[in-house]
Structures are given as C-alpha cells and as structure tokens.
Amino acid sequence: MTLYSKMLGAASGIAMACTAFAAQAETLFWSTQAKPVEEAQAMREQVLSGFADGVDYQPNDGGPWLTRLQAELQAGSGTIGVLGALHGDFSAMKPDDLVDLSDMGVMSASGTFNDLAKLGTDSMQYIPWMQASYIMAANKDALQYLPDGADINALTYDQLIAWAANAHEAADEPKFGFPAGPKGLKHRFFQGYLYPSYTNGVVRTFASDAAVTAWEKMRELWAHTNPASTNFSFMQEQLLSGDAWIVFDHTSRLAQAFNERPDDFVAFPAPAGPTGRGFMPVLAGVAIPKTAPDMDAAKALVEYMLKPETQIATLKATNFFPVVDVALPDDLPASVKAAGDAVAKMSASADANPGLLPAGLGDKGGDFNRVFVDSFERIVLAGQDIRTVLDDQKGTLAAIMNETGAPCWAPDAPSEGACPVE
C-alpha cells in the first residue's frame, strides 16, 4: 500500500465517521407524508428547521416505509426516531411496537381524532398531526353548464351527473375526472362519500338495495367520466391540462392547480344523496417506534410538531390542516384557502353526514379497500350485474370484519362485536 492510498483510506474513514456522527445527532423523521420533492423540501426548510436539535426528514412510499420499520422492530434496535404516517398505516401495526404517548401532554383538539389515535387500546399510540379531506373542484369555464337551479355549494349527486352530462355534450367528450388510477384514492370516494350519501352506512349496508342504487348512480356518472381516468391518480394534473373539468380528489392532490392558476378553478363541497352529504376526513399522525435511538429527542420532536406555529408552517408546506386550535393567518396559499372553504362548507352543511376512517381493521385495511376497488372494477369497468357482484363481494367483506372483529364506525349504527354485513 502506498502512502497516498493510506491517506485516502484514512480520509474516507474520517469522512464516514463524521457522517455517522451527524446521523446520530439528528432525529430521523421517517414519513409516508409530504413525499413530493417540493413538499419534502418545504418540510425541511420551513417546518423542521426551527427544531433545535436538527431533524433528518425522510419521506418514502408506504411499502419501503413499512419494510424498514419492520426490519428495525424485528432487529430490536433502530435509527428511526419519529414516524409520520396516515391513520391507516398506524392501524396496520401492532400497538405494542409504538411507544405509549398518553403522558405527552399534547393532543389534537378533536376528541374523535384522539380516540382514533388509540388504535383500539386505552392509550394514545400516535398523536394526531394534521388533517385533510376530499373535495370537488371544477374549471370555472364549466360553471356555465351547471343545471338550472343548482347551487354549487349544495349539489346533489343527480345534479352532479346532470352537470357532467351537460359538460360532456358541450365539449363533445366526457369531462368529469375521477382518480381511478393505480395510485388514485377511488376507494375513499366509495367508503366516505358514495355509500354514506346513499345508504347511511359502509359495512352494514354494503349489499343493500340502496347500495345497488348508489352503484347505478356511479355508472351514470362514469358515462360522463373521461375514460382515461383509470390512469389518473392526481387530479390537479388533469385540471391543469384541461383533460377534466369537474373532479373529485384529496385536497392536497388538487393543491397545485389552485396554486398555479388560482383564478381558473373553484373548490366546492362533495354532493349529497338521499341520506345526506357524506364526506370523510384524512388523518395523519406522528408516533415513536419502541426502537427509537433517542427517546427524549423523539418526544421533543413530536411536541414540536403539535405547536401552533409548526402546524401553520405544516399547512403551508403540505396543504394538510392543523389538528389543534390555531388562528389561521391571512397569507395562506390559494390552495389552502380554496380547500379550507370547501371543507368548512361541507362540514357545516345542514345535511352533512360525516363518515369516519375505517378503524380496527389492523393490517386488513388494504383488503378492506380492495373490496370496494374490486366492486368498482367489476360493476363499472367490466359492466357486471350489480346485485351479483355485491352479493359476491359481501362474503369477502364479512370475512374481513369477522377476522378483525372491528366494530362499526359512523355512519354505520354501532355494533356489539364485529360489524355485521347485512
């Protein structure tokens, strides 16, 4: 070995030791949220830079996120300090793997959210971090095709279908957009919007006659839906490109459209059906895995995330709304104003019928979603008989409910034990 290569080796050794040291000092924030590059950067620069001890913010897809977490849990030691994920991600985990956060002294202002965060146990398994919802958005050019007498802030499903039909006729191609792509959130539309609005339930009423009507309406709407919707996952893209005029999606998946061309689009509440205006919140939380290397730093970071200033910074960075009581400032991005307005109108409407996120399903959350996605693919895309498909899928749904023993959640009537499929 020459002197040169020896020096090179020593230098690289020192460099590696330095990075290892730096990684030790910062708390690793392992998240499934704020994944797009701009959002991740905003999280680092605007939200987490105020945390004294330094944070290494690493967002990732759900699969790799879980794989690394499970590897660390199995090994019994890890580098992840704080987890950031959706309620559904946490409910798929064993509660024992998360540190009990009940004595943190911070929690969300919503009792419902705090209950959800217990994951069916008696203690807080994660702390609610931020919330969002799903809304409708439209190109202002499409407003002229609204059916007579329709109020955009109090639409019914029939009016929405009529509107989509008018737009279809005017443009000579279907202009409704629906996130039915592989990464689209179509299942939430069925679970939180269509079913509550038509059947006043999700699980109990899965195969009811009212559910058949709901799917018939879905078919009518689909007739005026851009057929390329099966490749759409973020409806802001189709709003901006003009491929769709009227769309349904997650607030943060519409944000780019409002931020780029705030004057061209309008956000409005989801439509109502015979049993009210169904809608669903999205809840993300922060938790600490039991393998966190520095428990105090992790807890300090969780506390920091719940501070009002941090919550507002998070809102600006990710378009997810605060879960604690804060006074919103005036200089918010256009997307936040539009979405906030629509969500407020939706929850304040007289016929509001809020649905909760599926709870108690454990790691069967994916299977639960698949029941709805499969029903959609068979009924709407493959054109199979609605009654046959629902009766068939009903068995799968009942098996999931019995296996997990999950009790009913709103808007289904409460149940003793596992929620029955009637």
Partner 1 sequence: MNARLLPYVLILPVTLFLCLFFLYPFVLVAKQAFSTGSGFTLDNFSEVTSYWKFPITMRNTLLLAAAVVPIQLALALLMATMVNRMQRGRDLVLYVWTIPLGISDLAAGIIWLAIFDQSGFLNSMMSGLGLIEKPVNLLTFQNPGIVFLAIMLAEIWRATAIMLVILVAGIGLIPKEYYEAAEVFGASKWKQFLRITLPLLRPSLQTALVLRVILAFEIFAVVAALGGTLFPVLMGETYAYQFDLLNSGAAAAMALIILAISIGFTLIILRILRVPKGATI
Please report whether residue 228 would count as binding partner 1 according to CB under 8 A. yes
One residue of 9, 54, 262, 366 binding partner 1 per CB under 8 A: 366
Please report whether residue 141 would count as binding partner 1 according to CB under 8 A. no
Q: Which stretch binds partner 1 (CB under 8 A): 201-209, 251-259, 347-355, 373-381?
A: 373-381
Q: Which stretch binds partner 1 (CB under 8 A): 111-119, 224-232, 302-310, 402-410?
A: 224-232
Please report whether residue 66 would count as binding partner 1 according to CB under 8 A. yes
CB within 8 Å of 87: residues ≥ 6 apart = 116, 117, 283, 284, 285, 357, 359
Task: Output the smallest distance, CB 266 to partner 1, in A.
Answer: 24
Please report whether residue 227 would count as binding partner 1 according to CB under 8 A. yes
One residue of 296, 363, 391, 422 binding partner 1 per CB under 8 A: 363
Please report whether residue 369 would count as binding partner 1 according to CB under 8 A. yes
One residue of 241, 330, 331, 416 binding partner 1 per CB under 8 A: 241
Which CB, 47 or 380, lies closer to partner 1? 380
CB within 8 Å of 23: residues ≥ 6 apart = 56, 79
Task: Output the smallest distance, CB 226 to partner 1, in A.
Answer: 7
Give the number of other Cβ atoms within 10 Å of residue 422's Cβ.
13
Task: Output the smallest distance, CB 126 to partner 1, in A.
Answer: 18
Q: Which stretch binds partner 1 (CB under 8 A): 56-64, 141-149, 271-279, 402-410?
A: 56-64
One residue of 4, 63, 329, 348 binding partner 1 per CB under 8 A: 63
Task: Output the smallest distance, CB 369 to partner 1, in A.
Answer: 8
Please report whether residue 182 would count as binding partner 1 according to CB under 8 A. yes
One residue of 370, 394, 402, 415 binding partner 1 per CB under 8 A: 370
User: How many residues bind to partner 1 according to rule CB under 8 A?
Assistant: 26
CA distance 310 to 331: 15
Which CB, 59 or 411, lies closer to partner 1? 59
Give the number of other Cβ atoms within 10 Å of residue 148's Cβ.
6
Task: Output the smallest distance, CB 367 to partner 1, in A.
Answer: 6
One residue of 8, 231, 405, 417 binding partner 1 per CB under 8 A: 231
Which CB, 223 or 328, lies closer to partner 1? 223
Binding site for partner 1 (CB under 8 A): 61-63, 66, 92, 173, 180-182, 226-228, 230-231, 241, 243, 363, 366-367, 369-370, 374, 377-378, 381, 392
